[in-house]
Homo-oligomer: A and B are copies of this chain.
């Protein structure tokens, strides 16, 4: 129930962040609604298509679309006043990332997947919404370039699967993973942690 509430808050926040990026690219109202929805629900959609887990979440629960489209429309009209809320956004986005991740792990586990696939399903749920948003905005996905965003998802999913493996109670494992993952994300943002980059300019001979 708590997870469900966090999920709804998270898809609203993701839809708003997608809508803002769409506005920056000059999209019209349809484009803003669609990119908000893809950002919010794209991760779970990719996960379910890859797992063959039908029906998709938003097809079984079309009311999710009301949340994402509503959030995108509201954002379109109030976005200019939102810059005061940037810190709130980043925190809600971080909460969404870890909640999406735990939900994705749950769905893969209910389909009896290998633990590595369970963690991967969590990561896909967390990061593919933003990745599809960036593809639609014609830019190299941010998640591939900087910040330990995907690493937070890897950590959260691994912790969750590990706790369940050691027979920790399911809701305790959820809360602990979400709490620890969110703390990790907060610290990563605060201290601007990065994964190593590699100086690709020094690679020659491959065109």
A75 to chain B, nearest CB (A): 9
Known: A20-B206, A22-B144. A29 touches B86 (CB 8 A): no
A61 nearest in chain B by CB position: B114
B205 touches A83 (CB 8 A): yes
| Residue contact B79 to A198, C-beta cutoff 8 Å | yes
Counted per complex, copies of this chain come to: 3
Once the chains bind, are B65 and A25 in contact (CB under 8 Å)? no
A79 CB to nearest chain B CB (Å): 5
Does the CB pair B202–A80 fall under 8 Å?
Answer: yes
The reply to whether the CB of A135 lies closer than 8 angstroms to some CB of chain B is yes
Considering the chains assembled together, what is the distance between the CA atoms of A26 and B146 in angstroms? 9
Q: Flag if B137 contacts A29 (CB, 8 Å).
A: no
* Cα–Cα, bound, A135→B134 (Å): 11
- A136 interfacial contact with B, CB 8 Å: yes
Tell me whether A172 is interfacial, beta carbon within 8 Å: no
Residue A89 at the chain B interface, CB threshold 8 Å: yes
Considering the complex, which residues of chain A in the window 154-207 have a beta carbon less than 8 Å from any beta carbon of chain B?
Answer: 154, 194-206
- The reply to whether A195 and B29 contact each other, CB–CB distance below 8 Å, is yes
| Residue A143 at the chain B interface, CB threshold 8 Å | yes
Q: How far is the CB of A55 from chain B (nearest CB, A)?
A: 7
Question: A137 to chain B: closest CB distance in Å?
Answer: 6
Hey, which bits of chain A sit against chain B, CB under 8 A?
17, 20-32, 34-35, 45, 49-52, 54-56, 59, 62, 65, 76-77, 79-80, 82-84, 86, 89, 113-114, 116-117, 120, 131, 135-141, 143-146, 148, 150-151, 154, 194-206
Q: List the 7 closest pairs (A to B, CB-CB), nearest first.
A: A83-B205, A31-B144, A52-B54, A23-B200, A28-B195, A24-B200, A30-B150
A–B pairs, 22, beta carbons within 8 Å: A17-B206, A20-B203, A21-B206, A22-B200, A24-B203, A30-B151, A30-B154, A31-B141, A35-B144, A52-B52, A52-B55, A52-B56, A62-B117, A65-B116, A79-B198, A80-B202, A82-B203, A83-B206, A84-B205, A136-B144, A137-B140, A138-B140
